[in-house]
Structure 1
Amino acid sequence: MTDNTHNGSLISIGELSRRTGIPVRTIRFYCDEAILASRRTSGGHRMFDPTTAIDQLLQVRRLRALGLGLGPIVDILAGTVPLAQAVTAERSTLDTELAALTWRRAALLAIEHAPPAERATRVQLLATVQDRHRTHDSVVTFWRRMLTPLPPDIFDGFIEMNVPDPDPHHIVAYAELATLITDPALRVVMSRQLWRSDRTRIRHKQALLTGVARACESAAHLLRTNQRPRPGPELDQFVDAHASARGERDTPRFRRQLLTGATDSDHRIHRYWSLTSEVTGTITVGTALHWLYNALTQSVHPDDIPLVTNPFPCPNWDAAQPVSDR
């Protein structure tokens, strides 16, 4: 806009540059981007209100030094976005960038510290998890397909406890876990471990999963105190969940049926839950199911079926067992 009457109270772009230390070309850019208001003389020269323009330019320079983009700065100067909100958004963006850089650095260190003969393989492995969020979503999807009948709150609780969202120290284990879930055979054996039969024979799938989840919670309490697998209320709860879901009763015959074709000793299941325990540092559902499986074998064949050695890293309830799974 043109002002021929009040130019005496305004300053030129050169004077504004001298007072703020900001180059003339930068001030012109801010004017063109509507970040800074100016007036035009009849000759077309830009003029500025010294108080307003200096304050705005200094604010822009400070915010730019903190890394804020011009868009948020315009909103702050216009009063449409509070300063605190803009700063919080910028900090959140920075957190995301730092997490990505930390993850990338961990991958590079893992390759650097690998034995020379293993580096090429490790490069191939770690390349699969560089998009950390997509990898995590893949693991969630793996379980969502298997646990579809679960209510959202129970499923979310399972995800929180049993689906790793690891720190960089566990990037190699996490990469191997992410590779494991791409094997269709893992889903088959894991599903068999969970459902214990053809799913079409189960009348109440949600009730079964809910009951098994409760039984695993009970078993986890014993695992925390390193108690060896044994028949008891935890196992009864587990068997009752399966029996009720099929419209049957808990009998010796039914318990034998639960062991028919059991996949609990499958090396892929063991490896998956070992990696999960390594990353999460918690007692997983897999650990609890393994404990319940060994308790079930005792309740059916206490003298004929040996305990299967605990394949998971915590807790070591089977440290003294002489018999291992083959």
Structure 2
Amino acid sequence: MTEDTPHGVVSIGELARRTGVPVRTIRFYCDSGILEYHRTGGGHRVFDAAAADRLLLVRRLRAMGLPLAAIERVLDGSETISEAAAVERAALDAELEALRWRRAALVAIENAPPEERAGRLELLAAVHDRGAVIESIVAFWRPILVPLPREEFDSFIDMNVPPLPSEPAPAQVVAYAELTTLTTDPHVKTAMTHQIWRSDGDRISDRLQFVTSVADAFEGAAPLVAAHEIPRPGPELDQYVQAHAAARHERDTPRFRRELLTTGTTDTDPLLHRFWRLTADITGTETTVGAVHYWLLDALRQTV
């Protein structure tokens, strides 16, 4: 204490002694606006009696890794300790998931056969940002399914975009990387658009109604695909063909069925087959849109 220190307050040295926080750290908190103080006539920093408790709280929150901005919100009452801890925990969870993704990628590179290691490195380096993987796949589908309202589009994404595992195996990271690479290929995007619409879509007047009708047909055929039923004509195929015919103001005739089948110039595209195979492998389901689509086309061939 100095001669000009008012009664009822403590000097910075006394505050450091009471709390065990170094003087230089206390000065840093003062300059950061975390710790309030006053100056005496001689220019010395002094603190009120509550400063020690406040400083100890700051020290404990910092020990738990909370940033100064979060600590300041706790101190001013705009955020509780529990809320601040929850935010920091969520950030830590995201960081851990990113680290697990990176570790699995490194293991995949480490365990790759020597002749494949350079290619594996190139593939995985393109998706080093775990958070960008889903964004890339969603961006692939958005222009293809542009007429879908947000709710229907989100439902499609939930069913056909594999969620990222929190602890991926190396093989999963490789599969995601390959799938992401396909979504950035302009040829794949064009081929998928043609496969979904059975054309470039210019003959379809009401795309939303068409997508809704096709989705109903797919929903009916999905259980047959899941049960590994051999593709065959039936009400599911009729509903699928009718959806295409109605969208083009046509009738379901043998000629139209032949035309619908022959317009599928991308159905044999190996990259599309690989796209749907990767989707099935990652999601763990065989009833992807692609699988149901191919099943209905096989059934259509029988009628043609």
Structure 2 length as normaliser, TM-score? 0.91
Q: Which residue number corresponds to residue 18 of structure 1?
A: 17
Distance 1:197 1:80 in 2: 56
CA RMSD of superposed structures (Å): 1.9
In structure 1, give the amino acid aligned to 2:129.
Answer: D
2:245 to 210, 232, 243: 243
Between the aligned partners of 1:43 and 1:199, the Cα distance in structure 2 is 81
Aligned residues: 296
CA distance in 1, matches of 2:67, 2:191: 51
Residues 1:201 and 2:203 aligned together: yes
Aligned partners of 1:203, 1:39: CA distance in 2, in Å?
73
Residue 77 of structure 1 is matched in structure 2 by: 75
**Helix, strand or coil at the partner of 1:85:** helix
The aligned amino acid for 1:90 is: E
CA separation of 1:8 and 1:278: change in aligned 2, threshold 3 A: same
Indicate conservation of the 8 Å contact 1:36/1:53, yes or no: yes
Q: Is the 8 A contact 2:241 2:257 kept in 1?
A: yes
Structure 1's 62 and 299: CA in aligned 2 closer, same or farther, altered over 3 A?
same
Aligned partner of 2:112 among 114, 134, 153? 114
The unaligned stretches of length 5 or more in structure 1 are 301-326
Which one is further off, 278-287 or 220-229? 220-229
Letter in 2 for 1:254: F
Query: Equivalent residue of 2:202, what SS?
Result: helix
Give 1:183's aligned residue. 185
Alpha-carbon distance in 2 for matches of 1:114, 1:70: 43
CA offsets, 1:104-140, max 9 Å, x none? 1111111011112211110000011112333322221
Partner in structure 2 of residue 153 of structure 1: 151
What is the CA-CA distance between 1:7 and the residue it aligns to?
2.8
**1:10 is aligned with what amino acid?**
V
| Equivalent of residue 261 in structure 2, options 254, 259, 267 | 259
Please tell me the residue identity of whatever aligns with 2:294.
H
Shift of 1:211: 1.2
In the alignment, structure 1 residue 31 sits paired with structure 2 residue 58: no
- Give yes or no for contact 1:110–1:172 (8 Å, CA) kept in 2: yes
- 1:293 paired residue number: 297
Give distance in 2, aligned partners of 1:193 and 1:44. Answer: 77
Structure 1 residues 78-117: aligned runs within 5 Å = 78-117=76-115
Which string of whole-angstrom CA distances, capped at 9 and with x for unpartnered residues, describes residues 205-242 of structure 1?
Answer: 22111111121121111122222211111111111100
How far apart are residue 258 of structure 1 and its match?
A: 0.9
User: How far is 1:293 from its partner?
Assistant: 0.8
Amino acid at match of 1:63: L
Say which of 126, 129, 137 aligns to 1:128: 126
1:198 deviates by 4.3
Structure 2: how far apart are the matches of 1:255 and 1:28? 80
Gap change, CA 1:48 and 1:187, over 3 Å in 2: closer
Listed one character per residue, the Cα deviations across residues 32-70 of structure 1 (whole Å, up to 9, x for unaligned) are: 2222222333333223333x1110111001100111111
Q: For 2:137 and 2:179, how far apart are their aligned partners in 1?
A: 9
Q: 1:241 to 1:40 in 2, by over 3 A?
A: same
Question: How many Å separate the matches in 2 of 1:12 and 1:197?
Answer: 80
Shift of 1:160: 1.1
Corresponding residue for 1:7? 6
| Native 8 Å contact 1:166 1:280 kept in 2 | no
Residue in 1 aligned with 2:276?
Answer: 273
Deviates more, 1:97-106 or 1:288-297: 97-106
d(CA) in 1 for partners of 2:139, 2:46: 60
CA distance, structure 2, for counterparts of residue 103 and residue 133 of structure 1? 10
Q: Tell me if structure 2 keeps the 8 A contact 1:166–1:279.
A: no
Query: Runs in 1 of length 4+ with deviation above 6 angstroms?
Result: none
Whole-Å separation in 2 of the counterparts to 1:199 and 1:46: 74
Note if 1:166 corresponds to 2:153.
no
Structure 1 residues 222 and 7, CA, compared in 2 at 3 Å: closer, same or farther? same
Gapped runs of 5+ residues in structure 2?
none
